[in-house]
């Protein structure tokens, strides 16, 4: 089980949270102007790295707020917790 | 909203009143239902001074702004639920006048006050084994050093979402649970607490 530091509530067990998948995937601005392949790429294709991955998490049974987590997919180490809307590489956590 | 005389607790079918005792004796776990406590959901921006001032004027005390903390007056307790969300619990049980007063006081502001009285019921938990029983099904660290008296937290108990409030002095915990989970949670508590002995108190 992971222990995740909610930016509001502090460290809580993983079963209080839900994972919203990979973060920083921008929806195409004009879906009808792109090809099926490009749309499928947006919908289905993920980086699936071995190492640091940025994910969206929600503190579902706690404060119900979304935030970003950078997690090492090999060691499960949580590298960084930062606010929704903040850039991945940017300074200053949430 | 139903007439008072028609209003029934969501746990009425368990016949708790017929089990109620005045003295819990040496029971390790003491349970009671605090039915029909009034509840108001409050949303607003804590960065908006006008919002905070209007609410403070209406309640007579300031909203809790630190996560998982509680502030209270004589009749109303305010729980921090999120960075722009609070739950107000109101004694006696009618939440409606407070919600209406808040709606008037918050007119023109980006805020909302909603009557939620019948959305949840409250199960009071006390007795020497209370924290041990909750620890069987709750991922929170319930040790007094991590969960001090006067604080609140939203978490899981068994499979149910709960808001846990540890009263000042630490003698009683209140569990705010969605009404559809109340029967499950009560039975879960009876099962988890059986080894310590259980007493039921009246409301
Ligand atoms: Zn949280």
B149-159: b (≥16 Cβ within 10 Å) or e: eebbbbbbbbe
CB pair distance less than 8 Å for A8 and B67: yes
A33-69: b (≥16 Cβ within 10 Å) or e: eeeeeeeeeeeeeeeeeeeebbbbbbbbbbbebbbbb
Q: How many CB atoms are closer than 10 A to CB B167?
A: 17
* Same-domain status, B48 and B30: no
Alpha-helical (H) ranges within chain A are: 36-44
Rounded CA-CA distance B194/B201 in Å is 16
Residue with tokens 């605090």: B34
Of B117, B138, B154, at which residue does a domain stop? B117
Determine the residue of chain A that is closest to B162 in CA distance: A61
Q: What is the pLDDT of residue A92?
A: 42
Residues of B in contact with A65 (CB under 8 A): 82-83
Alpha-helical (H) ranges within B33-166 are: 49-59, 96-105, 130-135
What is the value of ipTM here, to two decimals? 0.89
* Same-domain status, B30 and B45: no
Please answer whether residues B165 and B142 qualify as being in contact, where contact means their C-beta atoms are separated by less than 8 angstroms.
no
CB pair distance less than 8 Å for B139 and A65: no
Task: Please state the φ and ψ torsions of residue B194, each to the nearest 5 degrees.
Answer: -55, -40
**Residue A57, domain extent:** 3-83
Spell out, as residue ranges, where chain A has pLDDT lower than 50: 91-94
Q: What is the pLDDT of residue B3?
A: 67
Token pair for B5: 């005389």
Residue B154 touches partner A, C-beta closer than 8 Å: yes
Residues 66-105 of B with CB under 8 A from A: 67-68, 81-83, 85
Rounded CA-CA distance B97/B58 in Å is 11
Residues of A in contact with B138 (CB under 8 A): none
* Same-domain status, B113 and B129: no
Longest dimension (CA), chain A: 43
Rounded CA-CA distance A32/A36 in Å is 9
CATH of the domain at B21: 3.30.1360.120
CATH of the domain at A53: 3.30.2270.10
Residues of B in contact with A10 (CB under 8 A): 67
Please answer whether residues A55 and A21 qualify as being in contact, where contact means their C-beta atoms are separated by less than 8 angstroms.
yes
Q: What is the pLDDT of residue B21?
A: 94
CB pair distance less than 8 Å for B67 and A61: no
Please answer whether residues B4 and B36 qualify as being in contact, where contact means their C-beta atoms are separated by less than 8 angstroms.
no
Q: Report pLDDT digits (tens) over A63-76.
A: 999 999 999 999 99
Q: What is the count of structural domains for chain A? A: 1
Instruction: Give me the DSSP letters along B61-86.
Output: SPPP-STTBEEE-SSEEEEEEETTEE
Per-position pLDDT tens, chain B of length 203 = 556 667 888 999 999 999 999 999 999 999 999 988 999 999 999 999 999 999 999 999 999 999 999 999 989 999 999 999 999 999 866 667 899 999 999 999 999 999 999 899 999 999 999 999 999 999 999 998 999 999 999 999 999 999 999 998 888 999 999 999 999 999 999 999 999 999 999 87
**Residue B69, domain extent:** 38-117
* Same-domain status, B124 and B194: yes
Of B117, B147, B166, at which residue does a domain stop? B117
Q: Nearest-CA distance from A53 to chain B in Å?
A: 26
Q: What is the pLDDT of residue B36?
A: 86
pTM for the model stands at 0.92
- Run of H or E including B123: strand B120-126
């Amino acid at each position: 089980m992971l222990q995740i530091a909610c930016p509001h509530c502090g460290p809580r067990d993983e079963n209080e949270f839900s994972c919203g998948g990979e973060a920083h995937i921008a929806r195409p601005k004009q879906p009808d102007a792109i090809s099926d392949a490009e749309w499928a790429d947006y919908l289905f294709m993920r980086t699936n790295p071995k190492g640091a991955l940025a994910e969206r998490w929600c503190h579902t049974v706690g404060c119900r707020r979304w935030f970003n987590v950078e997690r090492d997919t090999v060691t499960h180490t949580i590298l960084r917790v930062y606010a929704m809307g903040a850039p991945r590489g940017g300074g200053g956590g949430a | 909203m139903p007439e008072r005389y028609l209003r029934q607790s969501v746990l009425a079918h368990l016949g708790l009143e017929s089990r109620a005792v005045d003295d819990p004796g040496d029971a390790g776990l003491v349970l009671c239902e605090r039915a029909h406590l009034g509840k108001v959901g409050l949303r607003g921006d804590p960065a908006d001074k006008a919002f905070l001032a209007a609410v403070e004027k209406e309640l007579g005390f300031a909203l809790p702004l630190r996560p998982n903390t509680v502030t209270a007056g004589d009749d109303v307790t305010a729980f921090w639920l999120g960075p722009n969300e609070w739950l107000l619990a109101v004694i006696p049980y009618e939440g409606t006048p407070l919600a209406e007063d808040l709606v008037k006081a918050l007119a023109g502001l980006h805020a909302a006050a909603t009557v939620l009285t019948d959305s949840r019921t409250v199960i009071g938990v006390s007795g020497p084994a209370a924290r041990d029983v909750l620890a069987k099904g709750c991922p929170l660290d319930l040790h007094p050093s991590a969960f001090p008296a006067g604080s609140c937290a939203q978490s899981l108990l068994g499979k149910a979402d709960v808001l846990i409030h540890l009263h000042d002095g630490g003698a009683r915990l209140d569990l705010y649970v969605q009404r559809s989970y109340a029967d499950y949670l009560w039975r879960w508590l009876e099962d988890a607490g059986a080894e310590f002995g259980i007493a039921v108190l009246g409301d």
